[in-house]
A and B are shown apart, each in its own frame.
Chain A
Amino acid sequence: MHDSWRARVLPAAFFCCLAALPGRAQAPARPSPPIPRMPDGKPNFTGLWQALGTANWDIRDHSSHAGPFFQLGAVGAEPAGQGIVEGGDIPYTPKAAAQQQENYKNRLKLDPEVKCYMPGIPRANYMGFPFQIIQSQKDIAFAYEYATSNRVVNMGKFIDPSTDTWMGTSNGHWEGDTLVVDVSGLNGNSWFDRAGNFQTENTHIVERFRMADADHINYEATIDDSTIYTRPWKISTVLYRRKEKNAQLNEFKCVEYAEELIYGDLVKK
């Protein structure tokens, strides 16, 4: 009897109250926080951001793999992940495709990340480390936690690269609410990931940062380099605002972690 009361009254009460509410389409939805803006109306990207996913392992689709050292067990193994390359494949020339395979085979020796070399663009944006953006009314600074890499996006008159660098020369402008960043003068030493996908000193990149809402940036980069790719290609992923109350950029000065690897042979026995 108890149960049948419940079976009849409670649902009735429930539907009664539901009926009293406005229709679902009109129920007040929880509003997403508005995009923060600068006094001049431009979106304000200032904040601590980080990519999720596994693009730093491999920007293409990939299964999980054992790691190179059995001693690390599951800790050194590679997780599976969906790629961030639009269309799925990187349009390498045949020679470049072979080069990528060689890179992969020798990745422990060749991946600049292992040696704590600066990761270049776009890789710095989707590593397993956060980065701080500080946007002024003039320029926009990006401070990446990994290897204390950083760059300042010049928003004034276009600056030509005076020389090739690891982090490139970044010149930005607005297209509506999208921050468009032209990256040139890369020295070609950086990889896109740990899987040997690579660039050259002819690589030119155009990034687009657009806030989907206050806590998410849709990040895209178009890569062109006719010396190794048959056409320009694009990556796209999401950058997430770090929301923990105490979240901040920390220090990862990894040169010390790589010194024995790099110089160990030359140390006095």
Chain B
Amino acid sequence: MKKTLVFAVAVGAVLAGAVPMWAHHAFAAEFDADKPVKFKGTVTKMEWINPHAWIHIDVKGDDGKVTPWMVEAAAPNALLRRGWTKKDLLAGTEIVVEGFQAKDGANRANGSVIMFTDGRKLFVGSSAGDPGAAPGTTFKDK
């Protein structure tokens, strides 16, 4: 009975015109659900910008040709509060990306899953955990 209540609450939250979890971004306008992509690449740089950060990677094809891609990541604000900073993703790092390609056919994808080559998540951590917040700020200092 309790389980049902919790489930009902969760479902209700989604259906009852709740503050939608994802109502902030026109993903469906940007990325094509019919064009799944998965590739491995080497990070060249990460743009820490809003609304979302973008990871630039070089993807080497089977023919040896290198194609630059850009992958959409979370808002820097959320990453910074999880303790992630620019230094944490250096150029040269190899990552694996799974997502969908841009609707206009450009070499852009949403980073639905971003991980290191050994399967470890890129942006591990919870903002609700202990401060792993951006360096230099502690509550005690105020």
Question: A154-181 CB contact bits vs B (8 Å, 1 = yes)?
Answer: 0011111011100000000000000000
Q: Flag if A162 contacts B85 (CB, 8 Å).
A: yes
The interface centre, meaning the residue of A138, A156, A160, A163 with most chain B CB atoms within 10 A of its CB, is A163
In the complex, how many residues of chain A place their beta carbon closer than 8 angstroms to a beta carbon of chain B?
9
Kindly identify which residue among A138, A156, A158, A163 contacts B86, using a CB–CB cutoff of 8 Å: A163
Assembly CA distance A164 to B80 (angstroms): 12
Distance in angstroms from A109 CB to nearest chain B CB is 20
Assembly CA distance A156 to B48 (angstroms): 26
> Which stretch in B57-65, B108-116, B133-141 binds the other chain?
B133-141
The interface centre, meaning the residue of A138, A156, A157, A162 with most chain B CB atoms within 10 A of its CB, is A162
Assembly CA distance A25 to B137 (angstroms): 55
Assembly CA distance A160 to B142 (angstroms): 15
Assembly CA distance A78 to B141 (angstroms): 47
B contacts with A: majority SS: loop
Assembly CA distance A238 to B106 (angstroms): 49
Assembly CA distance A160 to B134 (angstroms): 9
Q: Flag if A160 contacts B135 (CB, 8 Å).
A: yes
Assembly CA distance A193 to B137 (angstroms): 33
Distance in angstroms from B134 CB to nearest chain A CB is 4
Number of A-B contacts (CB under 8 A): 22
Which residues of chain A are near B80, meaning CB under 8 Å?
A: 162-163
Which residues of chain B are near A163, meaning CB under 8 Å?
A: 48, 76, 80, 85-86
Q: Flag if A158 contacts B48 (CB, 8 Å).
A: no
Kindly identify which residue among B48, B85, B136 contacts A159, using a CB–CB cutoff of 8 Å: B136
Q: List 9 A-B contacts (CB under 8 A).
A: A157-B141, A158-B136, A159-B136, A159-B137, A162-B80, A162-B86, A163-B76, A163-B80, A164-B48
- Chain A contact residues, CB within 8 Å of chain B: 138, 156-160, 162-164
- Given A158-B136, A163-B85, 17 other A-B contacts at CB below 8 A? A138-B142, A156-B141, A156-B142, A157-B136, A157-B141, A159-B136, A159-B137, A160-B135, A160-B136, A162-B80, A162-B85, A162-B86, A162-B134, A162-B136, A163-B76, A163-B80, A164-B48
Assembly CA distance A164 to B50 (angstroms): 12
Nearest A-chain residue to B84, judged by Cβ: A162
Distance in angstroms from A5 CB to nearest chain B CB is 77
Which residues of chain A are near B136, meaning CB under 8 Å?
A: 157-160, 162
Which residues of chain A are near B85, meaning CB under 8 Å?
A: 162-163
Nearest B-chain residue to A169, judged by Cβ: B136
Which residues of chain A are near B137, meaning CB under 8 Å?
A: 159
Which residues of chain B are near A158, meaning CB under 8 Å?
A: 136
The interface centre, meaning the residue of A138, A157, A164 with most chain B CB atoms within 10 A of its CB, is A157
Within 8 A of A (CB), among B18-66: 48
Assembly CA distance A156 to B135 (angstroms): 15
Assembly CA distance A162 to B53 (angstroms): 14
Which residues of chain A are near B141, meaning CB under 8 Å?
A: 156-157
Which residues of chain A are near B142, meaning CB under 8 Å?
A: 138, 156
Distance in angstroms from A24 CB to nearest chain B CB is 54
Question: B101-142 CB contact bits vs A (8 Å, 1 = yes)?
Answer: 000000000000000000000000000000000111100011
Which residues of chain B are near A157, meaning CB under 8 Å?
A: 136, 141
Assembly CA distance A157 to B136 (angstroms): 8
